[in-house]
Chain A
């Protein structure tokens, strides 16, 4: 039974009739309904800067014929509005001769609880805790000059109504707690950001005063950077720390393995299935089934159950990540990677939690083996050019390595590399796999979706570091 049509003027029978009529002779399509609640509470500059609450509901109606997608969305859920959308879809898809693919796998899998995380913690207690975080951070050291902290919570209910009356539902909580700090000492200023989050209530992340650890970590990074020296420029060996630095894998390899770029043959990986794309010992998966993780989903935004998809096994390219459209056109099955930011956007193949599995080396071995290089512990943003394969990252915490030992911290360097060749340059895979703290948002075609990453420490033979020291 549809919950999202309950408080609207649109009856499920009317909706089903319009859907079946519109999707007749189409290859695929559905009505996607969504209802989202969103709250941010922010402290900045010693004051509660904002407490904002928003709700958004609407539908996205999609019709697919061959490789053409017609899409129409509105935040007015009514018979009139849906009929207007139907006309719009029909006018785009004039000649259609497909057969509607009604098969979709069923699942009872649940990787997170159906809770509304905004309501499970009162506004009062959020404000109280933000003030505590502010006071605690500022009391750590006189160099702490600015603190912002925030609670960001979301509850998203989705329903997928397919031609023939099939109804698929999911209910997704998501929270994030952030802290950022600016330190100033001897005329130098540095900032750091740290956060945690995932698909469970705020309190799961706040047990035993663990919020103090968030403040401690932000302080530690900013304080380290106050002592940083200019980064070198040029090619050198790079050791990546475990956890969040796996966004390098997300950018360098992940995007290039999404089905759409490969169907369109614009990815540097499109003709490399079955071939070696990474060093031996490198195995990478994309997993939507990890409990309470930011990138996990019970079903994707087309209703396909998520799974653990092997992308690269022991260095050999095995699979791309697929949504229904790209899977059909490439004669394979959807891997449950069909995602969208919200009802205003079309579905695209997107990553979930992208993880490199453990190897056998220790981080110490890696550092000891490097004469001159850098040790990158944390990154800010990254970006990739899918076609040429080039990607970049901004280091937010990095150190020089000199004669096998960790040296001085380095000022914000950029790393640039080539996606298809970078994983062939992996010399050692660590045994210390870690998942990120739950803060990642991936952007593609103007759509942001929550994702996770993870990896052990890695030693990469050769990357270009963009610093100011020649």
Chain B
């Protein structure tokens, strides 16, 4: 069973009072417990099961403006005493940094916790196996699906308490149910793989097994016998599962640490146009049951809803306490990064998007890291499908796509098919005029 708050609170209190006794002037502690149970199957047969139980603490101590931290999974009193002692001793010899401090008290979260982030459901291993078997059965019912790379189901439950010497102390349980199915297709000597996954806080919200298996099979089958195309300039449509990666690059580029260090291509762009007028981006932590929802960040600061981009203009950054002080802005509760980050819907349908020009490359998989956040340069390996006159015509692979995020951002058009499947979500995205490297 997952540990209750009372138990975690007791450990948190012990750590804070011990740190104070040893001479720390301020301290904060995170006590976290998680239990995860996974089953994996392969070719409709059990491949393995794993049960993980983790309990650990992370403690940060301050002496004036000096700071140091420790973490451990060994919570025996003797070990904790040693480590807290080591932490305080390290703090003493670490140089001062005038910006080091806990978050401002008036920013702490103290509202109601009504976002439904925890599902009590506990599934037996057999239920998990049955679920994922049904997904693989469905995939294998399709011609040319010959193998699997493995499919799985996991159930995660966690609870934590965050406490600090300013009197903040709060925590809550979250759950996550994840199913994935990855299959291999083969035909005429060509072998391809693809996957589908679904991850939600509530068991009832994840994709039904038949849909999961059918989608994985469809994706793996449509990749068979790909062609390599010539190097050329093309309009590219990014499937939702890839389009969201541009939002991830965007959020890293507007984190207050990147802004403060000057290591981002969006450094001097506040209140300037970085997308075209039609683009709007929000980050909201208070969407019920959503994967990215949370009440407060890792400093206890409440999550402020943010309009990051409005009509193409950059309006805000993702700010934590330390880096916020550096750039003279107050924390908006993003020391743990973005929450539910998404593009607002565009005005045209998916169908209109694929008919927007005669020849469009539809990209549904990329490999490689891709974005250089300092220069904005973007270059990845890709595969997908060629769209000709609004119809999907043949699969394409072993090509690269490249551009610069400054240009890409201005050339984005979005469909009106936004869904909240992940923590970061995008509608289907068209980017005009990217360079494809091929034959």
| Listed stretches A45-53, A315-323, A359-367; interface member | A45-53
**Contacting residue for B400 out of A76, A92, A464, CB 8 A:** A464
A384 to B68, CA, bound (A): 38
Does B95 sit within 8 A of A, measured CB to CB? yes
Residues 85-124 of A, flagged 1 when their CB comes within 8 A of B and 0 if not, give 1001001100000000000000000000000000000011
Residues of chain B from 383 to 416 with CB closer than 8 A to chain A in the complex: 383, 397-404
Contact assessment for A393 and B73 in the assembled complex, using a CB-CB cutoff below 8 Å: no
**Contacting residue for A266 out of B79, B184, B261, B380, CB 8 A:** B184
- Minimum Cβ distance to chain B for residue A175 (Å): 18
A346 to B72, CA, bound (A): 21
Contact assessment for A264 and B74 in the assembled complex, using a CB-CB cutoff below 8 Å: no
Name the residue on A nearest B91 (C-beta): A51
Contact assessment for B54 and A344 in the assembled complex, using a CB-CB cutoff below 8 Å: yes
Contacts of B401 in A (CB 8 A): 466
**Contacting residue for B97 out of A48, A268, A346, A417, CB 8 A:** A48
Contacts of A404 in B (CB 8 A): none
Does B138 sit within 8 A of A, measured CB to CB? no
Residues of chain B from 238 to 262 with CB closer than 8 A to chain A in the complex: 260-262
A51 to B88, CA, bound (A): 11
Contacts of A268 in B (CB 8 A): 191
Contact assessment for B74 and A57 in the assembled complex, using a CB-CB cutoff below 8 Å: yes
Contact assessment for B125 and A464 in the assembled complex, using a CB-CB cutoff below 8 Å: no
- Minimum Cβ distance to chain B for residue A343 (Å): 10
Residues 249-288 of B, flagged 1 when their CB comes within 8 A of A and 0 if not, give 0000000000011110100000000000000000000000
Does B16 sit within 8 A of A, measured CB to CB? no
Residues 224-246 of A, flagged 1 when their CB comes within 8 A of B and 0 if not, give 00000001011100000000000
Query: What number of A residues sit within 8 Å (CB to CB) of B?
Result: 78
Query: With A45-B261, A75-B54 in contact, is A385–B367 under 8 Å at CB?
Result: yes
Query: With A189-B374, A233-B231, A264-B42 in contact, is A58–B398 under 8 Å at CB?
Result: no
Contacts of B260 in A (CB 8 A): 45
Does B122 sit within 8 A of A, measured CB to CB? no
| Listed stretches B5-13, B336-344, B431-439; interface member | B431-439
Residues 46-80 of A, flagged 1 when their CB comes within 8 A of B and 0 if not, give 01111111111110000000011111111110000
| Listed stretches A151-159, A199-207, A278-286, A375-383; interface member | A375-383
- Minimum Cβ distance to chain B for residue A124 (Å): 6
Contact assessment for B48 and A69 in the assembled complex, using a CB-CB cutoff below 8 Å: yes
Does B102 sit within 8 A of A, measured CB to CB? no
Main secondary structure of the interface of A (DSSP, over half): strand
Contact assessment for B402 and A233 in the assembled complex, using a CB-CB cutoff below 8 Å: yes
**Contacting residue for A53 out of B48, B90, B192, B400, CB 8 A:** B90
Does A351 sit within 8 A of B, measured CB to CB? no
A448 to B242, CA, bound (A): 24
Contact assessment for A53 and B95 in the assembled complex, using a CB-CB cutoff below 8 Å: no
Residues 432-470 of A, flagged 1 when their CB comes within 8 A of B and 0 if not, give 000000000000000000000000000000001111111
- Minimum Cβ distance to chain A for residue B262 (Å): 6
Contact assessment for B435 and A123 in the assembled complex, using a CB-CB cutoff below 8 Å: no
- Minimum Cβ distance to chain A for residue B184 (Å): 6
- Minimum Cβ distance to chain A for residue B59 (Å): 10
- Minimum Cβ distance to chain B for residue A151 (Å): 13
Contact assessment for B193 and A266 in the assembled complex, using a CB-CB cutoff below 8 Å: yes
Does A291 sit within 8 A of B, measured CB to CB? no
A358 to B402, CA, bound (A): 35
Contact assessment for B368 and A381 in the assembled complex, using a CB-CB cutoff below 8 Å: yes
Residues 366-386 of B, flagged 1 when their CB comes within 8 A of A and 0 if not, give 011110101101011101000
Contacts of B437 in A (CB 8 A): 233-234, 414, 416, 464-467
Does B358 sit within 8 A of A, measured CB to CB? no
- Minimum Cβ distance to chain A for residue B111 (Å): 31
Query: With A266-B184, A466-B400 in contact, is A56–B367 under 8 Å at CB?
Result: no
Query: With A47-B95, A92-B125, A234-B437 in contact, is A387–B191 under 8 Å at CB?
Result: yes
Contact assessment for A266 and B147 in the assembled complex, using a CB-CB cutoff below 8 Å: yes
A70 to B47, CA, bound (A): 8
Query: With A75-B56, A390-B367 in contact, is A55–B72 under 8 Å at CB?
Result: yes
Residues 208-252 of B, flagged 1 when their CB comes within 8 A of A and 0 if not, give 000000000000000100001001110000000000000000000
6 closest A-B pairs (Cβ-Cβ)? Answer: A466-B400, A392-B381, A233-B437, A69-B48, A75-B73, A392-B368
Could you list some 27 contacts between A and B, CB below 8 A? Answer: A44-B261, A45-B261, A48-B95, A51-B90, A53-B69, A67-B47, A73-B52, A73-B53, A146-B262, A189-B265, A190-B375, A231-B379, A233-B400, A264-B42, A266-B184, A382-B368, A388-B191, A388-B223, A412-B372, A414-B368, A464-B398, A464-B400, A464-B437, A465-B400, A465-B437, A466-B400, A469-B435
Chain A residues near B (Cβ < 8 Å): 44-45, 47-58, 67-76, 81, 85, 88, 91-92, 123-124, 127, 145-146, 182, 184, 188-191, 231, 233-235, 264-266, 268, 344, 346, 380-388, 390-394, 411-414, 416-418, 464-470
